[in-house]
Structure 1
Amino acid sequence: MQSRQAGPLPPSRVVTDSGVDHVRLAYHYLDTGDLDGLGSLLHEGARGAVPEPAPYGGRHHIQRIVAEGDCVVVMGRLVPGLGEFVDVFTLSAEGMLRGCRRYHAGLR
């Protein structure tokens, strides 16, 4: 009988929930230009962990957040009328932002 080597355990629900709070704060800090606040949410050495700023003075409007383990997915709109996005965040074991990838749904 072969045994499978288990990978790292996923973060606890408390860590995932903390990561969701950090994601929400990241959009607030990004939209208000608070770079120090934004930096305080990043895992040490994180690269590409910040969502793109809204162009032309727009803001992020979150429509839905889905979180599981070390992954947080945000669906939203850039307002006013600048298009839709999906951001996929990766969390550290402590719930800090480690990575972010944006998918654009285009302009309306």
Structure 2
Amino acid sequence: MIKRVVFVAGVSAGYLFGTPAGRRQLDKIKVWAADVWRDPRVQEYVQEYESQAAAFAKKQGAAVWEKAVDTAKGAMSSSTTKYPDTSPTVVEPLVDADDANPGQR
């Protein structure tokens, strides 16, 4: 079933983008979508849901922040126990400047 839906969607997209008649239909769809978006009834819903989303974000923002801080602190404290700090290892270069230019001293 999903293969049929994908096939029909592909054929539709090919028609809309690949033929002159399809591009005319696409332009009609764009005009219709813009008209629907500008409709005052739609904008009322948009404003309502925007205010609900903003209120939810304000309400949940502090909880999410606290959870993120706790998770970060937990990760930092557990990483020191899993990987104990060892003394820094000095890495010597494989080739120093004298080896790179043997004829110039």
Give TM-score scaled by structure 1 length.
Answer: 0.24
Q: Larger % of strand: which?
A: 1
Give TM-score scaled by structure 2 length.
Answer: 0.25
Higher RCO (CA < 8 A, seq sep 6+) = 1
Query: Max radius of gyration: which structure?
Result: 2
